[in-house]
A and B are shown apart, each in its own frame.
Chain A
Amino acid sequence: MFDDNKQAGSKDSPLEDSGNTVNQYPIPPDRFDEMFEAPGIPRAHWQAFYDLLVSTPNKSINARLASARRHIRDSGITYNVYNDPEGQDRQWELDVLPLVISTDEWQHLQAGIAQRARLFNRILADLYGPQKILTEGLVPASLILGHSGFLRNAHGMKPPGNIFLHIYSADLARSPDGQWWVIADRTQAPSGAAYALENRLITSQTFPELFRSMGVRHLAQYFSTMRDALIYNAPIGDGHPLAVVLTPGPFNETYFEHALLARYLGFRLVEGNDLTVFNNKVWLKTIEGPRRVHAIIRRQDDSFCDPLELRVDSTLGIAGLMQCVRTGSVLVANPPGSGILEAGALMGYMPRLCKVLLKEELLLPSIATWWCGEPAAMENAFKQYKSLVFKPADPGFSFEPIFANNLGQSRWQHLQNQIKQHPERYLAQELVQMSQAPVLTSRTRDKLQPRGIGLRLHSSIASSGNYIVMPGGLTRVASSNNSRIVSMQRGGSSKDTWVLSDNPLGNQLTLLRNSFSADDLVSANSAVTSRVAENEFWFGRTCERCESIARLLRVALRAALYEYEDGRHAPLHAMAISWGLANKETENIEQELLSASTKENHPLGLAGNLRHLHQIAFQLRHRLSGDHWRAVNQLLRHPSFNKESTIDESLAWLDTVILSMTTLSGFALDSMNRDTGFRFLSIGRRIERLSFMTRLFSIACDEGRDSGLTWLLELCDSVITYRSRYMSQPQWLPVMDLLIRDISNPRAMMFQVKGILDYMAHLSPKDPCGSELLLEGKILVQQLDIRHDFEPDSTRLMDALNTLHNSTYALSDELTTRFFTLPGGVQGNWSSPWH
């Protein structure tokens, strides 16, 4: 209860201070508020939250907010918005106050969602089978047959287990009378479940005491049930069941979630070109050969699934997938063709369909919807247009929703004419005044702000054949309080959803790791895909390249600031020019080096390479640990990144980069499984280092015979080693021995050679690849005479260096053709001409 005494309390009291949290919170009479029954009176299931907010001082609330924000930033949860000025990955927006749902209300929602899923499964089975719904007139035939979501190629499909709908999500909104309505059904690639789990990790840390005491239901079981059902229903044969999450790739707005989902389920994250079809089955292309795929969780729109039979311009799909879907040789959740269920126009027919197909009353109503393709419905909609919103009935003709009450007479007339021309493209929906829920802000006063909210719930089939509903979900928050549409794309935010349970915490599953039962099945299929192997390789190379460039820039910039002990740094300019960091004719090399360190538009500079590294890491995100990812992520958010900077700032920035890069290689050594992916990463790293070292020495011998060698040692991070070993000013012979021949020095060329040969032998023991030139180089180095050849003028040395340098190119090429690329490369489509 809101208490006047609290307001009147003394100034130092935390209660007074925190009274502001709920003080001015407005509750308009025409809206349902999730938290408050009336101003200052929280609903029973919110009481604990209310008490906490009222009794917590501002400062400590702000501390919780800050910690949550830090968590989001560090774990890099993103939501990509196409053409977003903020760039490819926009930070996930979360309000830490969850939406709390009482046990009773949940019973109702859960039953309603499960029923809808069951009903939709029946509808799909009928539409892609006997079509009684159409022949008996339960739904106008033209609604289905004229909709772009109805895929004729999917007709007659025999999905494994006879299950047409595996996963189903619904968007709900609550009207002022407290009733929940379904406003959209999602079946093609329903996102949000994994975001919900990520939100949960944060809110449960933000309010640990409430999370425990309120008996919040856990989410993990939903994922394990979903996973078990997929494996259970998948077809069998050709080895262990292999299940994958199919993503359109890192540029998709919810790619982050695809990666999360894959990680939670223990499934492989793949893109269309990781898969291929032959023998009427789907196969995963791995560096060890094809592996049969038994189940696919699909995060691609229907029409992109198969360039052979569907959209010919799709580069994301798998040619031949539809054939496998029809015969049921692969389980696809959900099968292509399920998109027809998202046709909003179906909503108006749901009560009748439910009665006829399930012999049940529809438990959870859809928002009142009229499909203009039916003349009577169009008339109806026109009569009451002021209270309606007009939306596209078919994603093929999409437009922004039109709120008819905002239209003047002439614009309404115009819209009416448009609708009459193509009535089948429009549907009219009743406008719901969404409920509001408080969001917690860091303001001093009015910490609670009301925002419109919508709820997305998720369900999946279980092995038992029943649909289960995730006890939680993604609550979506409008960006301002009067928004009528909640959408992450429009810059809204999200909340966790806390469903309260009757029984106190008992044997609930905890998040992740402990709970999965089918681990052995999934982890048995660990062959690395060609695409991942390639990304690992380039991740290794690019890490190493960033480090080398950073060292080069650091040494060169330092040389500009103060001279080295031995006073000569002419070769540094040659180096910078050779690596493309500075122009040969440059007047102001210092300025160029500065720009090469921090500016992204420098073509070969450090910042550009870091951006590239970030992109590769993004592709590999499902294989990188959080720490890995953070190390890369932080650099791009560094204040110096892509800014003009002074020498001092640049040097500090270069120190940071070098530190991060060594940290990264430490992570790799310390926390990565020694699997094939790791080998590719290591090979990449060593090839890059060998390439750098050989070029470095060629230039050093050419230009630097009269210069000191400290800079050379520093570039190779071997100053300390040298000093402790030789206790003298650097001289050619010991320097060369240390950096070329010393097999125990991880910076030495021969160390790289040995590593590459070892890893290659692991990759393909029978026929280690790319080794010819490398072996030749190795022998040339071994044959060098320490007395005559370890000096800049030796032609034998130059010869060995050149051979090794060239071998890095040959190796890279051979790896590419042997493990990475698909035969032929580019995929093209064509259709026959006609006359």
Chain B
Amino acid sequence: MALNNKVCTYRVTHETLYHYSSNVSQSQHFAHLTPRNTAVQKVLEHRLVCHPSPTEHTELQDYFGNFSCSFLINEPHDELSVTSSSMIEVQITDAQILHHSQAWENALHLDHYQLEPPEIAEMRLPSPYVECLPQTAAFAAQCFTPGRPWSEAMLELTRKIYNDFTYDPQATTVSTPVQEVFENKRGVCQDFAHLMLSCLRSLKLPARYVSGYILNEPPPGVEKLMGSDASHAWIESWSPEMGWTGFDPTNGKMANHEFMTLAWGRDYMDVTPLRGVVLGGGTHKPEVKVNVSRLD
């Protein structure tokens, strides 16, 4: 992908609010809410604020190099808010894509005597939320015809999911399996990302799950992007020629400078923005608000 040295800067606030029906006496949380630096993105500023404030917290870099944070709240509370605010600089990319890239088969790992880095090898494999299925393999094979340029096939698969599937927040839950999403043809960004990962990994192509944000201020006259009021998910796939490149099946396009990366992993499980174990609490109602604004 061609870079042109121009950058744009975003301010992102991501607030998660939990209302518990009864008091929580103690809670522990594990967050992936701190954006990472990437080849095209620099984090200029970041703050994570919790109410009530944590008794203690630990920051660490996970297996994939993402920043995670675990924290403990040791006082009774019936409400929890976690706000992540960041300033992120992203390089502006040219919108067009190389249609003349090498054949997609080059991204396969056919010569087993040739070693490849574990971080690529593991993204060819199924993972807890991404099962490889004959259906998704067949679905992918329609795009990945022999000898077809990698980027062309990738983009077609991205668009195919976008066209054939309906965005429907009511259709799925956190743990809806890929097979069900494929059969019902409905879901949200996480489901479409998992589905696309299943398609690619069924063909043994390396692909990873990306959690992040997209710009939700469309230019006048342009429709607002799906998933822009909440945290977003898309995928990145790897080819020897292009490295890791992002594709967003929810919006049927390549990821560009309107995409801000939080973290990546094999699937949602590796990079869940916020998870927790609480004592008490009864039922709870989560509320997520994401606001992305361009500063320049």
CB-based contact A280/B276 at 8 Å: no
CB-based contact A308/B275 at 8 Å: yes
Stretch at the interface among B100-108, B139-147, B266-274: B266-274
CB-based contact A278/B74 at 8 Å: yes
**Shortest Cβ distance from A156 into B: residue:** B63
Chain A residues with CB under 8 Å of B126's CB are 146
Distance from A331 Cβ to chain B, minimum over Cβ atoms (Å): 19
Stretch at the interface among B34-42, B117-125, B157-165: B117-125
Chain A residues with CB under 8 Å of B62's CB are 152-153
Chain A residues with CB under 8 Å of B72's CB are 277-278, 320
B249 at interface by CB-CB < 8 Å? no
**Shortest Cβ distance from A128 into B: residue:** B63
A319 at interface by CB-CB < 8 Å? yes
CB-based contact B275/A829 at 8 Å: yes
A623 at interface by CB-CB < 8 Å? no
Per the bound structure, the CA–CA distance linking A309 and B277 in Å amounts to 10
* Most interface-central of B124, B211, B233, B280 (chain A CB within 10 A): B280
Q: Which of B16, B18, B230 contacts A835 (CB 8 A)?
A: B230
Contact with B along A407-424 (1 / 0, CB 8 A): 000000000000001101
CB-based contact B275/A279 at 8 Å: no
CB-based contact B281/A835 at 8 Å: no
Chain B residues with CB under 8 Å of A422's CB are 132
Chain A residues with CB under 8 Å of B56's CB are 278-280
A213-229 contacts to B, CB under 8 A, are none
CB-based contact A131/B118 at 8 Å: yes
Chain A residues with CB under 8 Å of B124's CB are 142
Q: Which of B16, B118, B286 contacts A134 (CB 8 A)?
A: B118
Stretch at the interface among A252-260, A450-458, A667-675, A819-827: A819-827
CB-based contact A827/B58 at 8 Å: no
Q: Which of A136, A375, A832 contacts B112 (CB 8 A)?
A: A375
Size of interface on A: residues with Cβ below 8 Å to B: 47
Stretch at the interface among B3-11, B21-29, B45-53, B253-261: B21-29
Check A153/B63 contact, CB under 8 A, given A278-B56, A835-B230: yes
CB-based contact B24/A824 at 8 Å: yes
CB-based contact B280/A823 at 8 Å: yes
Distance from A377 Cβ to chain B, minimum over Cβ atoms (Å): 11
Chain B residues with CB under 8 Å of A828's CB are 277-278, 280-281, 284
**Shortest Cβ distance from B268 into A: residue:** A834
B227 at interface by CB-CB < 8 Å? yes
Chain B residues with CB under 8 Å of A131's CB are 118
A307 at interface by CB-CB < 8 Å? yes
Check A308/B288 contact, CB under 8 A, given A146-B122, A835-B189: no
Q: Is the interface of A mostly helix, strand, loop or mixed?
A: loop
CB-based contact B169/A830 at 8 Å: no
B115 at interface by CB-CB < 8 Å? yes
Per the bound structure, the CA–CA distance linking A374 and B113 in Å amounts to 11
Per the bound structure, the CA–CA distance linking A512 and B167 in Å amounts to 66
A503 at interface by CB-CB < 8 Å? no
CB-based contact A824/B277 at 8 Å: no
CB-based contact A833/B286 at 8 Å: yes
CB-based contact A824/B25 at 8 Å: yes
CB-based contact A323/B70 at 8 Å: yes
Chain A residues with CB under 8 Å of B2's CB are none
Check A830/B188 contact, CB under 8 A, given A141-B118, A152-B62: no
Per the bound structure, the CA–CA distance linking A312 and B174 in Å amounts to 12
Q: Which of B24, B115, B189 contacts A135 (CB 8 A)?
A: B115
Q: Which of B270, B279, B286 contacts A823 (CB 8 A)?
A: B279
Chain A residues with CB under 8 Å of B58's CB are 280, 323
* Most interface-central of B63, B128, B231 (chain A CB within 10 A): B63
Chain A residues with CB under 8 Å of B272's CB are 831-832
CB-based contact A326/B60 at 8 Å: yes
A137 at interface by CB-CB < 8 Å? yes
CB-based contact A835/B70 at 8 Å: no
Contact with A along B170-198 (1 / 0, CB 8 A): 00001000000000000011100000000
Check A308/B273 contact, CB under 8 A, given A146-B122, A278-B72: no
CB-based contact B230/A308 at 8 Å: no
Per the bound structure, the CA–CA distance linking A136 and B115 in Å amounts to 8
B203-226 contacts to A, CB under 8 A, are 211
Distance from B7 Cβ to chain A, minimum over Cβ atoms (Å): 26
Chain B residues with CB under 8 Å of A835's CB are 169, 188-190, 227, 229-232, 288
Q: Which of B28, B115, B280 contacts A320 (CB 8 A)?
A: B28
**Shortest Cβ distance from A826 into B: residue:** B280
A145 at interface by CB-CB < 8 Å? yes
Distance from B110 Cβ to chain A, minimum over Cβ atoms (Å): 10
Contact with B along A371-400 (1 / 0, CB 8 A): 000111000000000000000000000000
Chain A residues with CB under 8 Å of B229's CB are 835
A155 at interface by CB-CB < 8 Å? yes
CB-based contact B25/A834 at 8 Å: no
B96 at interface by CB-CB < 8 Å? no
Per the bound structure, the CA–CA distance linking A137 and B118 in Å amounts to 10
Contact with B along A483-496 (1 / 0, CB 8 A): 00000000000000
Distance from B255 Cβ to chain A, minimum over Cβ atoms (Å): 16
Chain B residues with CB under 8 Å of A834's CB are 174, 188-190, 211, 230-231, 233, 268, 273
B58-87 contacts to A, CB under 8 A, are 58, 60, 62-64, 70, 72, 74, 76
**B residues touching A (Cβ–Cβ < 8 Å)?**
16, 18, 23-26, 28-30, 55-56, 58, 60, 62-64, 70, 72, 74, 76, 112, 115-118, 121-122, 124-126, 128, 132, 134, 169, 174, 188-190, 211, 227, 229-233, 268, 270, 272-281, 284, 286, 288
25 contacts between A and B (CB under 8 A): A134-B121, A141-B121, A141-B122, A142-B122, A145-B118, A278-B74, A308-B28, A308-B70, A320-B28, A323-B70, A376-B112, A822-B25, A824-B24, A826-B280, A830-B275, A830-B278, A832-B16, A832-B275, A832-B286, A833-B174, A834-B188, A834-B230, A834-B233, A835-B189, A835-B231
**A residues touching B (Cβ–Cβ < 8 Å)?**
131, 134-137, 140-142, 145-146, 148, 152-153, 155-156, 277-280, 307-309, 312, 319-320, 323, 326, 374-376, 421-422, 424, 822-835
Extra A-B contacts (13), CB below 8 Å, given A134-B121, A319-B28: A135-B115, A136-B115, A141-B118, A148-B128, A278-B56, A309-B30, A421-B134, A823-B25, A824-B23, A827-B277, A828-B280, A830-B284, A835-B169
